[in-house]
Structure 1
Amino acid sequence: MTVSRALSEFSSESNSGVSTPLTSISSVVSLPTQFPSRVFSPLITHALDLPSLRSKPSSQELLAVLCTYARNQGKNFRGNEESIPAPEGFVDWATRLVGSGLEWIEGEDDRELIWDSASARIAERCGRTAAPSMEREFEVRNLDLSIILYEPSLTADSLGLKTWGSSLLLANRLTDRHQDLIPSSRRRVLELGSGTGLLGIVLGVLGYPVLLTDLGEILPNLRLNMDRNRDRFSRCGYSPDVNIEELNWADVEASAAYQRGDKFETIVISDPIYSSEHPQYLANAVGQFLEYDNPQAQVILQLPLRPKFVDVRSDLWRKLRDIGLKPTRQDHESGWDDFGEEIFFWSIWRPREFIDICIDIDSLP
């Protein structure tokens, strides 16, 4: 059942006095999403108007409020602007709800649903790192359809399960200028660190055969996103040629691509460095898979200019130079991520024997 349909049915049945099975809305109350104009609960402007737990409100009444004030992630990292503002004191009310035994609610499943929904509303208001699992919509320039991506809860060891601003900006750049940026040979493109799949999906829609790669624990979610969007785009006449494989930068030789001896004319990478080890790992992977004897071989790289990563970026530039690459093009642009507005840096690196003029790496940010 779709979110809108579940909301509509629940609203109409509640207003008519007919009891609504909670299972019919269990798939929507705990996920932030975009709600239609007809919501479960009348809008509440003061905390005193929230259902008092002393009055033992019904499951439907509690879930109505929790659904009404679910946070919407919006599009393209500009989330929550379409969400319905919750009244002051809503988080305190939801916290009391989580701590209540809800003894008057019949059915353990119903109580669990209310607790889970209240916990999700609290988490949504504690920043991206505390947010629950979510579906997100991204609009990329010059594409007929938006891209829907599922993101599990974010933890420090699963950063590849989140969509980052660099992938959206690079996707926009490619849809604007891919014929200028990627050779016309239509050779297969390699993406290192594909994450949730935004950039790889866009490359596939643009007509490039693409190999998406990431750590093994990232691949199930990547495949889920690829399959869902492949079906959506195929209904509009697109047939993305995309394959997904495991590739651990710290153990490149274990990958199927290495064992096949794959080489690539174009490698794309977005936001690849989160530790001091990553520059060396990334350079090793690029050095292994780039087709160095091809005059058109290139690495397209986009990353945010995070202030705490100046030394790590400098190390990355040196490591790319050490494997025989030089930067030939660069650009800066402002963009958004879940953590606010940032400046992002874009560059193209090519084998040094095929270029006469390059950019001094000491001038790179």
Structure 2
Amino acid sequence: MISADSDEPLHVLDLPQLYTKPSATDLLKALELLAVQPRSFGSSAHEAVKRPAVQPAGVAQYLTSIISSSLKWLESDELREAVWDAAAARLSERSGRAAMPAMSRVFNIPASSKEEFTLTLHEPSLTSDNLGNKTWVSSYLLSRRLHNLLESTPQLVPATSTTQKDSSTLRALELGAGTGLVGLSFAVLRGALATIHLTDLPAIVPNLEHNVKLNTELLEKSDATVTTGVLDWSVAPDPLPSQDERYDIILAADPLYSPEHPKWLVNTIKRWLSRGLDARVVVEMPLRDAYLPQVQEFRSRMGDIGLAVVEEGEEIGYDDWEGADGESVEVRCWWSVWGWSEKI
């Protein structure tokens, strides 16, 4: 028998060996012990969400031996398939973040300097055309910063829309919500004082809806109101939203990953942001070299429509992709809060 609770990591020879014809249960327990989760977004570049309790030497060979074995001593084809699938998943996980299967991840978000809450998010397995279903480091950093922004920027508290039942209720919109981490964090933090609409492209929204349901208990406890929907930045709504349909605050994290996005994003903000001087846009994005021209274009276009930076800063996070040396990738991110210039 093996234990995941030991302080000392196991050697691969401590795992069930095929020549002993171990049961499917013992093999599946061993394979669960070898599961690798993506690295955390925390302050340490070397921390993983969950470290295997087995020394890495020989693990790949062990997994390959299981995949190539007939496992003929097991009682059914279903059991053999389960073991092969688990071994293949463990081998894929060791090929990097993009090779990992679908997973649910837990994020701890501060509600104050002393309290925090936990969100659970599902991330489907990644392909080149569904990267919006991944949680990105800038989303995590912005979610952890939100409670400070809400406390330090009084203008984020009042709302001016005449359609609201309560004039203290904010109407918030998240653009490119992805897995929903930022928007759900905002919803829990504001509770009954805000409603938020989480939006993304059609392929992303089903998982976004699923993540809202995963956190139903916390949202109900917080008395938060969250809705989801499709919003394509490249398509202008017809008719354009009225002042009563616009939002007091717009949130976006890591929204630029194509040359068209600065223009589309700023045009979308212009259409949907309330014209009140207390309206705000809160954005965080990575400062990756390849995308710096797009960040600069975003800043320029925001100024062109009459928005100015109220507050901004930079911070360091660690993405859950591994670099060439196997370490977490350090990412410098820029966060900013924008408001309308009093001149317009």
Same fold by TM-score greater than 0.5: yes
1:254, 1:93 → 2: CA distance? 59
The answer for the alignment partner of 1:122 in structure 2 is: 91
The residue matched to 2:266 in structure 1 has which SS? helix
Q: 2:18 aligns with which of 47, 53, 59?
A: 53
- Pick the structure with more helix per residue: 1
8 Å CA contact 1:271, 1:302 repeated in 2: yes
Contact 1:164-1:337 at 8 Å conserved across structures? yes
Q: What amino acid sits opposite 2:141 in the alignment?
A: L
Write the letter of the residue equivalent to 1:164: W
Cα distance in structure 1, aligned partners of 2:158 and 2:14: 63
Structure 1 pair 81–300 and aligned structure 2 pair: CA distance change class (3 A): same
> Aligned letter for 2:189?
L
For 1:210, the equivalent position in structure 2 comes to 196
For this pair of structures, how many residues does the alignment match? 316
Match of residue 5, structure 2, among 17, 22, 37: 37
Question: Could you tell me how far 1:66 is from its partner in structure 2?
Answer: 0.5
The residue identity in structure 2 corresponding to 1:333 is E
Quote the Cα distance in structure 2 between the aligned partners of 1:115 and 1:260: 57
Q: In the alignment, does 2:107 pair up with 1:138? A: yes
Say if 2:39 and 2:319, in contact at 8 Å, map to a contact too. Answer: no
Supply the distance in 1 between the matched residues of 2:204 and 2:217 (Cα, whole angstroms).
Answer: 21
The verdict on how the C-alpha distance between 1:36 and 1:177 changes in structure 2, with shifts beyond 3 A counting, is farther
Equivalent pair of 1:44/1:87 in contact (CA under 8 Å): no
Q: Say which SS state the counterpart of residue 250 (structure 1) adopts.
A: coil
Structural mapping, 1:234-245, within 5 Å: 234=220, 237-245=221-229
The aligned residue for residue 27 of structure 1 is: none
Aligned mate of 1:110, from 56, 79, 94: 79
Cα 1:343–1:65 change in 2 (3 A) is same
SS at match of 1:148: strand
Contact persistence 1:171–1:202 (CA under 8 A): yes
1:299 paired residue among 262, 281, 301: 281
For residues 297 and 354 of structure 1, the distance between their equivalents in structure 2, rounded to whole angstroms, comes to 15
TM-score for the superposition, normalised by structure 1: 0.78
* Residues 134 and 259 of structure 1, relative CA distance in 2, 3 Å threshold: farther
- Paired residue secondary structure (1:79): coil
1:228 aligned residue (201, 211, 214):
214
Cα separation, 2, equivalents of 1:233 and 1:297: 24
Among 131, 139, 161, the alignment partner of 1:159 is 131
Where do residues 166-315 of structure 1 align in structure 2 (5 Å cutoff)? 166-181=138-153, 182-185=156-159, 186-207=169-190, 208-234=194-220, 237-253=221-237, 258=241, 262-292=245-275, 294-315=276-297
TM-score (structure 2 length as normaliser): 0.82
- Per-residue Cα deviation, 1:186-208 (whole angstroms, up to 9, x for no partner): 32011101111111111111222
Which one has a larger percent strand, Structure 1 or Structure 2?
A: 2
Q: State the 1:53 CA deviation.
A: 3.3
**Which protein, 1 or 2, shows the higher relative CO under an 8 Å CA cutoff with sep ≥ 6?**
2
- The answer to whether the Cα contact below 8 Å between 1:266 and 1:300 also exists between their aligned partners in 2 is yes
Q: CA deviation at 1:353?
A: 3.9
Retained in 1: the 8 A contact 2:172–2:197?
Answer: yes
Shift of 1:254: 7.3
Given that 1:201 and 1:240 are in contact with CA atoms closer than 8 Å, whether structure 2 keeps it comes out as: no
Percent identity for Structure 1 against Structure 2: 34
Report what 2:324 is aligned to.
Answer: none
| C-alpha deviation, 1:87, in angstroms | 4.1
Q: Structure 2: give runs of 5+ residues left out of the alignment.
A: 160-168, 322-328
Aligned to 2:308: 326
User: 2:30 maps to which residue?
Assistant: 65
Please tell me whether the aligned partners of residues 254 and 284 of structure 2 are also in contact (alpha carbons under 8 angstroms): yes
2:325 aligns to what?
none
Looking at structure 2, the residues matched to 51 and 322 of structure 1 have their Cα atoms a distance apart, in angstroms, of 65
Pairwise CA distance, 1:320 = 2.1
Q: Is the 8 A contact 2:102 2:125 kept in 1?
A: yes
- For residues 70 and 290 of structure 2, what CA distance do their matches in structure 1 show? 45
Query: What amino acid is aligned across from residue 297 of structure 2 in structure 1?
Result: D
Q: In structure 1, what is the Cα distance between the partners aligned to 2:243 and 2:230?
A: 13
Gaps of 5+ in 1: 1-10, 16-34, 356-365
* Structure 1 segments of 4+ aligned residues over 4 angstroms from their partners: 73-78, 257-261
